[in-house]
Structure formats: structure tokens, C-alpha cells
Amino acid sequence: MNELFKITKEPIDVNELIQHVTRRKAGAITTFIGTVREWTNGKKTLRLTYEAYIPMAENMLSQIGQEIKKRWPDTEAAIVHRIGTLEICDVAVAIAVSSPHRKAAYEANEYAIERIKEIVPIWKKEYWEDGEAWIGDQLETVSYPEGKPSTLQLNEKEGKRHD
């Protein structure tokens, strides 16, 4: 497993993630910490369960790191996404990006979270006071009523990986 780009069942240690990108030539390190929020579209969320197709998800996180390096050559990135049941305020995803100057670090960090939502096969189930549902992909454009994507949906995501 690549420590820079991984899926984990354990709580995310943001300081450890920062250490992966800390280097002498970096003048900036940005972090993005995505947490489980209590309210979504007027509904009170009690908790979430994230699942992933781990081998593909870790490959795609690594690919995002490569894309960042290509677009912002002096950057270093690390991304961790948690799976399993998460409570309100738990950290679901953390991204750290270092670069010699802040602008590249900010831009690369934003790029990373948008690409994660676009191509990484991670899906979630939301639990509310009045029910629960598998939401599907992270863009919330596709639902997974069976609790996971079909083989066809995974193949489509694999195709987006190379866009």
C-alpha cells in the first residue's frame, strides 16, 4: 500500500498526512479535511457508511497525485479516504499538498477533491432520523440501491480515469 494515497478503516491522522508532504523546498502546505456534516438538504444526518472498491480507489488516488504533479510540477500530494461507519464530525477524507508557493498548493488541493468525487469508486450510505439510503457515487448523480456499483458502473468509472 502506498502511504501517500490510501483507503483506510482507521481514523485519519492529518498531522501524519502533512508529514508525508513536508519538505525543505516547500513554502506552503495546504490541507483539505472533509468531515461528516449533520445537515444535508434540510435532513438531519445521524451517520454515514462509506464503502470503496479499494484496489481501484487507491490506484485512482495515486493517479490524482500524478495528475497534480503534471499540472503543478513542484508539488507533492498525499490523500487518505476513510471507509466504514463514520459519525458526525469524523474526518472522511484528508488531502495535503505542498509546493514552493501557496497558489499551486491551493489549486492542486481543490483539484484533488474534485477529481476524487469524479473518478474514485467510493460510495456512501446516509442514515437519517426517518430512514436511510445508499447515495451512490460521490457526485451524488448515480444511486446504488443494492449498496454498491454494478460491474458496468465500475467499468464506466475506469473509463473516466483516463479522460
pLDDT, one tens digit per residue, over 108-138 is 999 999 999 999 999 999 999 999 988 866 6
At 111 the pLDDT is 98
C-beta neighbour count of 114 within 10 angstroms? 12
Helix%, strand%, coil% for the chain, nearest 5? 35, 35, 30
Asked, for residue 86, whether it belongs to a domain, the answer is yes
At 72 the pLDDT is 98
Asked, for residue 126, whether it belongs to a domain, the answer is yes
At 154 the pLDDT is 60
Please give the residue range of the domain that contains residue 85: 5-158
- The pLDDT of 138-158, averaged and rounded, is 61
Asked, for residue 97, whether it belongs to a domain, the answer is yes
Q: Beginning with the edge strand found earlier in the chain, give each strand of the sheet holding 91-99 in spatial order.
A: 5-8, 76-82, 91-99, 28-35
- The pLDDT of 89-118, averaged and rounded, is 97
Asked, for residue 46, whether it belongs to a domain, the answer is yes
pLDDT tens digit string along 40-76?
A: 888 999 999 999 999 999 999 999 999 999 999 999 9
User: Residue 123 belongs to a domain with what CATH number?
Assistant: 3.90.1170.40
At 1 the pLDDT is 55
Asked, for residue 66, whether it belongs to a domain, the answer is yes
- In whole angstroms, what is the distance from residue 115 CA to residue 57 CA? 12
Asked, for residue 163, whether it belongs to a domain, the answer is no
- The domain tally of the chain equals 1
- pLDDT tier at 99, thresholds 50, 70, 90: very high
